[in-house]
Amino acid sequence: MKAFSMFRNGNQRPEAAARMTHVDKAFFGEDEDEEDDEECSRVTRIEGSALLSSEPERAETDFFNGDKYVGDVHSGKRHGHGVYYYDSGDKYTGEWREGKQCGHGVYVYANGDRYVGQWEAGRHHGAGTYYFRSGKVFSGNYAAGVPSGHGVFIYTNGERLDGEWHGSAYPEHGIYTYANGDSYGGSWQQGRKHGIGTYYFKSGAKYQGEYQSGEPHGSAVFIEPDGTAYNEVWHAGERRSRTLILKVDYSFGQSAPAG
């Protein structure tokens, strides 16, 4: 997900940012539904006397759809700690409350993805970490199954996005750190730089200005590593004008306005 590259001949220019990598529904805690109705299952074994105890009992339950549950039950529902094996190959290990995942749990997907963290009412809720089979990692807060609040997305090449999520796969504000040492901090929309932001080059130069759909677009100030500053106007990733506004005069050891 690159956002800037070097001009040929030593100049620097921002270029279009690619969309963030596709995130599937599991990232949002939309896991497979487990069987809730005991009429759709058969209990093969119960430890203790569930009828005489107010405490959760250990049970092994096989469902007619191919799922299986091994763990605590209370009043006919999964309650306590248990392991749920899905016919699809998915597996949940953790805490349950009244038939739903609630508390801390680990969900391993058949495709190799894995979620480790808090649950509520069968959804990701609270602090959690989602490990993609590709090697990417998202660690942050969830609410009702979707990323909500602060989170960090780490890519396989070491790049990372540290931002604020509000119920979608993409943050609205965040800082993206590139493998080459550059970074961008500002507004995002659908995984692209959009709005006001600042791009910091490893060289010490920086672009402060407007973006649209991942491209520099609108007014900006470009500051060279030595402090020389320019007013710039961009359109769809192309610079249309540049005006010197501050020149560093090393002969006097000070800066002076242009003109």
Report how far apart, in Å, the C-alpha atoms of 62 and of each of 41, 65, 82, 198 are: 6, 9, 13, 56
CA distance 132 to 111: 9
Residue 60 contacts by C-beta under 8 Å, 6 or more apart in sequence? 43, 44, 45, 46, 68, 69, 70
Q: Record the tokens describing residue 37, joined without a space.
A: 């109705």
pTM, 2 dp: 0.79
- Cα four-point dihedral sign 54, 98, 65, 71: negative
CATH architecture of the domain 21-169 equals: Single Sheet (2.20)
Is residue 149 within 8 Å of residue 164, measured between CB atoms?
A: yes
- Count of other CB atoms within 10 angstroms of residue 145: 20
Please write the tens of the pLDDT for every residue from 118-173.
Answer: 999 999 999 999 999 999 999 999 999 999 999 999 999 999 999 999 888 889 99
Provide the residue ranges of all domains of the chain, joining segments of one domain with +: 21-169
| Helix then strand then coil, % of the chain, to nearest 5 | 5, 60, 35
CA distance 215 to 47: 63
pLDDT computed for residue 34 by the predictor = 64
Please write the tens of the pLDDT for every residue from 234-246.
Answer: 999 999 999 999 9
